[in-house]
């Protein structure tokens, strides 16, 4: 894996390079019904957990003095969102300042400080639409946290305020990222193979 990223400041994350070979599936456990459907493990579950914990710390440092409304983008974002919120709660529990957090799912009303949690940002078009919608409610602050950002060739590519990993333009599944509702029960983020795509094609 490429050198570790810095803190959330300046929106840095762990960069996974295009020639990163990933990990052999044999090194990890994963649901038996996906045997034969995956190429390799791109990001093991343990690394996702550790990186999410660090993102929580960055978020608390940046916006921990505010009450936060966490907006989870369904469906893929729910697992990352739940884990991120859990880490923020733990940090709040062990510090002098208590952060009040309300979790909501994208259904808009009036909000002050908003943290939008997404699983993956590709072109960023969807996120721009969502941000435009939320800006109509004039919150004091909007921050976006995404577990993954796909490297795209577009120069105007949108970057979230916090992200866990920057990945090559690959088709990934697992950790709640699905392919036609399958693979949500896979803990690691893996690259799906052609057999898997064909098997679960709708």
For residue range 98-128, what is the model confidence (pLDDT) as tens digits? 778 888 776 555 567 888 888 888 888 888 8
Cα–Cα separations (whole angstroms), residue 46 to 41, 43, 175, 197:
12, 8, 11, 25
Give the sheet arrangement for strand 162-167, strand by strand: 14-15, 162-167, 141-150, 113-121, 68-72, 101-105
pLDDT of residue 69: 85
What's the mean pLDDT when you consider all of the chain? Answer: 85
- Report the SS3 class of residue 83: helix
**pLDDT at residue number 11:** 56
pLDDT at residue number 201: 92
As a whole number, mean pLDDT of residues 22-46 equals 96
Looking at residue 110, what is its pLDDT? 59
pTM of the model: 0.79
Backbone angles phi, psi at 149, to 5 degrees: -125, 130
Task: Give which of 185, 182, 184, 147 is closest to 167, Cα–Cα.
Answer: 147
Q: Average the pLDDT over 47-61 and give the result.
A: 94
Enumerate domains of the chain plus CATH numbers: 14-199 (3.40.50.2020)
Cβ within 8 Å of residue 48, ≥6 positions away: 80, 83, 147, 164, 175, 188, 189
């Amino acid at each position: 894996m490429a050198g570790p990223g810095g803190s959330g400041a300046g929106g840095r994350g762990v960069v996974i390079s295009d020639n990163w070979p990933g990990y052999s599936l044999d090194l990890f456990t994963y649901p038996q019904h996906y045997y034969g459907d995956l190429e390799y493990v791109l990001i093991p579950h343990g690394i996702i957990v550790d990186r999410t914990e660090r993102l929580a710390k960055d978020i608390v440092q940046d916006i921990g003095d505010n009450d936060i409304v966490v907006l989870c983008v369904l469906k893929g974002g729910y697992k990352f969102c739940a884990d991120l919120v859990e880490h923020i709660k733990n940090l709040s529990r062990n510090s002098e300042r208590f952060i009040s957090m309300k979790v909501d799912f994208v259904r808009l009303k009036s909000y002050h400080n908003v943290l939008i949690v997404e699983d993956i940002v590709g072109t960023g078009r969807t996120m721009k639409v969502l941000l435009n919608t939320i800006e109509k409610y004039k919150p004091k602050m909007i921050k976006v946290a995404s577990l993954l950002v796909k490297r795209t060739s577009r120069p105007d590519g949108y970057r979230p305020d916090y992200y866990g990993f920057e990945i090559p333009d690959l088709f990934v599944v697992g950790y709640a990222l699905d392919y036609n509702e399958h693979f949500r029960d896979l803990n690691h983020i893996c690259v799906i193979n052609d057999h898997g795509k064909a098997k679960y094609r709708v």
